[in-house]
Amino acid sequence: MKIELVTNTTSDVSVLFLTKDEIKKSKYKTTLEKANFEAAQDSICFLYEQDVLFVGIEEKNDDSLRTATTVAIQTLKSSNAKSASFNVAKNSIKPIVEGLILGGYEFNKYKSETKKPALKRIDLECRNIKTLMSDFEEAVIVAEATCFTRDIVNTIPEDIHPETLAKLAKNLAKENALECDILDEKALKKEKCLSMLAVGRASRHESQLIHLAYKPKKKAKKVVTLVGKGLTYDSGGLSLKPATSMVTMKMDKAGACAVLGIIKAISELKLDIEVHAFVGAVENMIGGDAYKPDDVLTTRSGQTVEVRNTDAEGRLVLCDVLDYAQEKIKADYIFDFATLTGACMVALGQYTTGVMGHSNALKHAFFDAANDSGELIGTLPFNRHLKKLLKSDIADTSNVSSKPYGGAITAGLFLDKFIKDENKDKWLHFDIAGSAYTEAPWDCNVYGATGAGVRLMSSFIKNLK
């Protein structure tokens, strides 16, 4: 499907967004009233004879337009229209492009037959192409990077495991002129990433630490380090997940995939910001060689960890990757993305990314990025009482809390133990356990991966000075 900015459209169908109040002023008023169309958000009225598709919107804001465009594109794709047009202006181009690309997204890799939609072309009709071009191109880059992330997350664990994820990252580096360094198990041993290696030990695939770097042509205004949890499958390990909780755990690599999507977007936007993406790619499996509850692991930082639950494996991977990333790159910001805890969904619901860290100013900046990007975030507060719950009687720390409440925060506090003092205010942890994957459509998300983090972080990085 081709999306183009035009000043004069010749498309089969025109899509018109209407608020309740606008019905009365519409030239289609009588027909719309006959159809009992009340312009409720996301409701549609397709006037086939007139080649007009009406979609109701509550207000003319980004959220309304993005979901209404999602409904429109899905309706158009199931119709026989070959082309359609939308009116766009400076303040509506981004949500409309997002609705088209993200709401029209399909993942058909494993379907033997897919119906090809008749729809081939979308015209975005505007007064002046020049004034909209850069907003249009930017929205397309970020939305396509989000789909890139979705595709990898949706790919099954037989196809994406640590070694193939590393290969995929290498390809991305080649295509986008990124620097690429990959540590296999031999290199990881040399680097003393023994905690990360323990998690992957029962897998038939070698764990990989992936490092990609985007360095702008001009002097970088800021340096951003991104770290992603890349559990290509999380069976829970010997603390095995129940059957129903294990389904969907191919999505436990969503943090890694987000980080790859972000560096893809930033490199294509050609921003003057240096970005480093570090991914811990590991498969958490069972077997005679598996790491065990009761083991004590020595992390790269030297701190020891008592394993009390092998399903709390993400933090055991991230602690080594965070330590490595901080030693390698002196960054202005360090952000990690991880499908870290089911508890984050209990705390915030499944749509909202949990944000944790020490700097209130930095957390605050992300509320602007969330508003701008349309992603949802909520902050979860650290406190010293929860921190004490990670105490171990046998090692420096336990990998799980001794109490059942506040699990998203205690996981964040575990990671905090591996953030060096000089980096405390530069670091935020994003728990995307709920927001990264969905089994029911919402907003511009369809079944499967959402690409959470890509729009949010692209917006933040784009506004760095």
Catalytic hit among 250, 264, 315, 455:
315
- What count of Cα atoms within 13 Å lies in the side-chain half-sphere of residue 463? 13
- Residue 342 makes contact with ligand BES by CB under 6 A: yes
Binding string, 389-408, against ligand BES, x = CB under 6 A? -----------x------x-
Whose CA is closest to 289, among 417, 201, 416, 419?
201
- Residue 232 makes contact with ligand BES by CB under 6 A: no
Q: Could you confirm whether 315 is annotated as catalytic?
A: yes
Contacts of 326 (CB under 8 A, 6+ apart): 225, 334, 419, 420, 423
- Residue 262 makes contact with ligand BES by CB under 6 A: no
The number of residues that bind ligand BES (CB under 6 A) is: 15
- Residue 234 makes contact with Zn ion by CB under 5 A: yes
Distance of alpha carbon 417 from alpha carbon 420, whole angstroms: 8
- Residue 313 makes contact with ligand BES by CB under 6 A: yes
**Token duo for residue 411:** 């996981």
Distance of alpha carbon 464 from alpha carbon 28, whole angstroms: 46
- Residue 234 makes contact with ligand BES by CB under 6 A: yes
Binding string, 413-442, against ligand BES, x = CB under 6 A? --------------------x---------
- Residue 162 makes contact with Zn ion by CB under 5 A: no
- Shortest distance in whole angstroms from residue 313 CB to Zn ion: 5
Contacts of 410 (CB under 8 A, 6+ apart): 386, 387, 389, 390, 400, 401
Among 206, 306, 311, 431, binds Zn ion (CB under 5 A): 311
> Which partner, ligand BES, Zn ion, none, binds residue 309 by CB below 5 to 8 Å per kind?
ligand BES
Distance of alpha carbon 330 from alpha carbon 320, whole angstroms: 16
Distance of alpha carbon 250 from alpha carbon 96, whole angstroms: 30
Q: Where are the alpha helices (DSSP H) in 78-184?
A: 93-103, 129-154, 162-175
Burial of 261 by CB count in 10 Å (0-12 exposed, 13-18 middle, 19+ buried)? Answer: buried
Q: Could you confirm whether 300 is annotated as catalytic?
A: no
Name the segment binding ligand BES (CB under 6 A); options: 7-15, 62-70, 267-275, 339-347.
339-347
> Which partner, ligand BES, Zn ion, none, binds residue 343 by CB below 5 to 8 Å per kind?
ligand BES
- Shortest distance in whole angstroms from residue 242 CB to ligand BES: 11
Q: Smaller CB distance to Zn ion: residue 84 or 231?
A: 231
Among 228, 314, 357, 374, binds Zn ion (CB under 5 A): 314
Catalytic hit among 241, 328, 387, 420:
241
- Shortest distance in whole angstroms from residue 231 CB to Zn ion: 5
The number of residues that bind Zn ion (CB under 5 A) is: 6
Q: Where are the alpha helices (DSSP H) in 276-375?
A: 314-328, 342-348, 360-373
> How far is CA 69 from its chain centroid?
21
Check residue 117 and report its DSSP letter: P
- Residue 256 makes contact with Zn ion by CB under 5 A: no
Active-site amino acid positions: 241, 315
